[in-house]
Structures are given as C-alpha cells and as structure tokens.
Amino acid sequence: MATKNRHDALALLHEYTKTESLIKHALAVEAAMLWYAKHFNQDQDETLKWSMTGLLHDFDYELYPRPVAPEGHPFKGCTLLKAQGYPEDLIEAILGHAHYTGVPRHSLLSKTLFAVDELSGFVVACTLVLPTRSLYDLKSSSVRKKMKDKAFARACNREDITKGAEELGIPLEEHIQNVICGLCSIASQLGLPAQKQ
C-alpha cells in the first residue's frame, strides 16, 4: 500500500471524471467507507484502502458507462487500476459492486462498498428535499419512507440498498443512520450545510 495513497486516487478520479455530481458521489461513498472502516476497527493501511475504494469505485463511469466487458464500467477502470498497481482486494471490491460482473462479494471491504454505494446517493437525494437541506436533520425513518416512494430518486436501486445492509449483517435503519453520520463529516464538500442548523 505504500506505493498508492489518497492523493493518487483523487488525482485519478479527477483525471477521468469531470461531472461534479459524480465527483460528489465518489466523495460521499468514500466518507461512508471511512465511517465503516472505523466502525470495523480497520488499521491505518486498511483504512486508506477503504478510502481509495470509495473514491475509485466509479472513476471510469463517465468515459465508459456501458456495462460491457472488457471496455465498460467497471471492467475498464479495474484494468487501469491493476496496471497502476492498486491492491487486488480493492479491484475485486470495485468489480463486485456491480451485479453484472458476476464477481462475488466475500470480503468485508467488498460488502461494505456495495452496501454504501446506492445508499449514499439516496441519502443525499433525501437531504436535498428537506427544507434545511441538512444531513443533520435527516432521520433514518424518513429515508425508509422515501424508499417506498418509487417515483422518488427512481434511479436508486432499493433492492441493492436492502441487500447491502443484509450482507453487512446490520439492520437497515441502523445502516442508514451510519451512512448519514459518515456523510455529515463531508457535508460542505457535498454542497450541504456543514453543521446542525
């Protein structure tokens, strides 16, 4: 891990991703991954790996959005990551966050990435419709209620959110609250109020 750091991962993200919403999504997923790295008592090297996994999980999506091997997301990105010397388990986790790759999620790293990916986007969407637009005012129960509204944030896969919590072995409402807590740490980077109103 000494050869790669967060600066490298962030530079790679910005090289391939120009859309602000995709960059914010990468930062949100990283924040949720870091929250869980602490929750699961990961050491410093592992925490760095969890951070980079979150940052890079969709870095190739803007340029290679079609899910076709080997030229689409996340196949293309993982080929690039392998060539640059990123760890195998990071690459496996990124492949595993998309069902269509057929890569199983065995590690805690891969299960966590899958669990926070869709939910991070959904939590931000729920926050943006609050009068205060503040993560600090978002309740887990409100997120659960919005999940039942199929017209709201329809691109977010509710089944993946539920399955992610199940794979982690954490009750859904608790998992949602954990992700909200993780995102609060970077609220200002997401364009949201940085403290409780």
* CATH of residue 113: 1.10.3210
Over range 95-101, report the average pLDDT.
92
Over range 120-145, report the average pLDDT.
96
What is the number of structural domains in the chain?
1
Domain assignment present for residue 193? The answer is: no
Confidence at residue 197, expressed as pLDDT on a 0 to 100 scale: 59
- Cβ atoms of residues 182 and 135 within 8 Å: no
Considering the chain, what percentage of its residues have pLDDT values greater than 70? 98
Domain assignment present for residue 195? The answer is: no
Domain assignment present for residue 197? The answer is: no
CA dist., res. 20 & res. 62, Å (int): 11
Domain assignment present for residue 194? The answer is: no
- Cβ atoms of residues 61 and 73 within 8 Å: yes
The residue range of the domain holding 41 is: 6-188
CA dist., res. 63 & res. 60, Å (int): 6
Confidence at residue 1, expressed as pLDDT on a 0 to 100 scale: 46
Cβ neighbourhood burial of 189 (10 Å; 0-12, 13-18, 19+): middle
pLDDT digits (tens, 9 = 90+) for 176-188: 999 999 999 999 9
Confidence at residue 67, expressed as pLDDT on a 0 to 100 scale: 83
In the numeric block, the tokens 């992610």 are attached to 164
- Cβ atoms of residues 174 and 12 within 8 Å: no
Per-residue pLDDT for 160 more than 80?
Answer: yes
